[in-house]
């Protein structure tokens, strides 16, 4: 099952099909409907051909506009829906925020739980827009950001929870993210101990952090569905996503 989920497309390290996830009501999510990944613009020709051959017809790109500047052009029947998920691009203030948060919490799980919860509160309309772009895709859709962990991880979690995948199963999927590759790219010589701590927390993908975050969503909003409705997601889009990703329950 894991081999079918993980897709070794050349140039990326974190592409997975969200099919095969167990539904709380019985059955599993459908393969070939929603995928998640790191920046697909890093795919080489063979990797891009694998994406097209897999049937992907829409990319939901969650990056800031400034991250798109050096992207190569696209070749093939794939459209792009760009949803800048986390507001304006302010890297200096973001890293100050990460360092302050890392100093307040005891471990990676607490860092992820707090950060993701704050993001939901700050950008509800953008999360609703991202899930809508997934739900209304003209065919198989791949959600990605740069590393395929935070922005992609939260949207993938909301999508899976919306269609009825259990919290533990979602956290298991999240923890499959290749954090070792992220750490190798994210740590640099000359960083202070505080900077290293913040960066390690930021580049972690702890099962417990995602699980606690999703329990917080249930406690604060009632459910992922309730959060997304409050954020502005069209109920018809939610039904379409359930029909496609959990067809036995639609």
- Contact partners, residue 121, CB within 8 Å, separation at least 6: none
pLDDT attached to residue 48: 94
Across the beta sheet with 58-61, what order do the strands follow?
Answer: 16-17, 34-37, 141-144, 58-61, 79-82
Domains of the chain: total: 1
pLDDT at position 197 over 90? no
**Each residue's pLDDT tens digit, 135-152:** 999 999 999 999 999 999
Domain of 25 in residue numbering reads as 2-249
Task: Please report, rounded to a whole number, the percentage of residues in the chain having pLDDT higher than 90.
Answer: 74
Q: Tens digit of pLDDT for each residue in 92-141?
A: 788 888 889 999 999 999 999 999 999 999 999 999 999 999 999 999 99
Instruction: Give the model's pLDDT for residue 1.
Output: 42
CA distance 49 to 53: 6
Cα separation values, 86 from 49, 122, 125, 167, 233, Å: 30, 8, 10, 23, 17
Confidence at residue 57, expressed as pLDDT on a 0 to 100 scale: 96
- Does residue 191 register a pLDDT over 80? no
Q: The whole model's pTM is what?
A: 0.93
CATH number of 51's domain: 3.90.190.10
In angstroms, the CA 195 to CA 173 distance is 28
Confidence of residue 190 (pLDDT cuts 50, 70, 90): low
């Amino acid at each position: 099952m894991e081999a079918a989920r993980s897709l070794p497309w050349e140039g990326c390290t974190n592409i997975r099909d969200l099919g095969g996830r167990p539904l709380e009501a019985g059955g599993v999510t459908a393969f070939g409907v929603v995928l998640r990944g790191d920046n697909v613009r890093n795919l080489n020709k063979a990797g891009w051909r694998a994406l097209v051959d897999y049937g992907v017809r829409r990319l939901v790109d969650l990056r800031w506009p400034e991250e798109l500047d050096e992207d190569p052009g696209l070749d093939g029947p794939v459209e792009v829906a760009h949803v800048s998920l986390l507001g304006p691009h302010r890297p200096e203030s973001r890293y100050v925020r990460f360092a302050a948060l890392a100093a307040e919490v005891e471990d990676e799980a607490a860092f992820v739980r707090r950060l993701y919860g704050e993001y939901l509160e700050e950008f509800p309309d953008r999360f609703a827009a991202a899930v809508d772009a997934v739900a209304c895709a003209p065919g198989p859709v791949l959600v990605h950001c740069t590393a395929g962990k935070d922005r992609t991880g939260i949207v993938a979690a909301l999508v899976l929870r919306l269609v009825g995948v259990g919290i533990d199963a979602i956290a298991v999927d999240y923890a499959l993210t290749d954090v070792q590759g992220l750490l190798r790219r994210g740590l640099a010589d000359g960083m202070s101990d505080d900077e290293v701590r913040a960066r390690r927390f930021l580049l972690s993908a702890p099962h417990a952090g995602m699980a606690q975050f999703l329990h917080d969503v249930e406690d604060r909003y009632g459910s992922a569905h309730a959060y997304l409705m409050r954020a502005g997601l069209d109920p018809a889009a939610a039904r379409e996503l359930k029909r496609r990703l959990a067809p036995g329950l639609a």
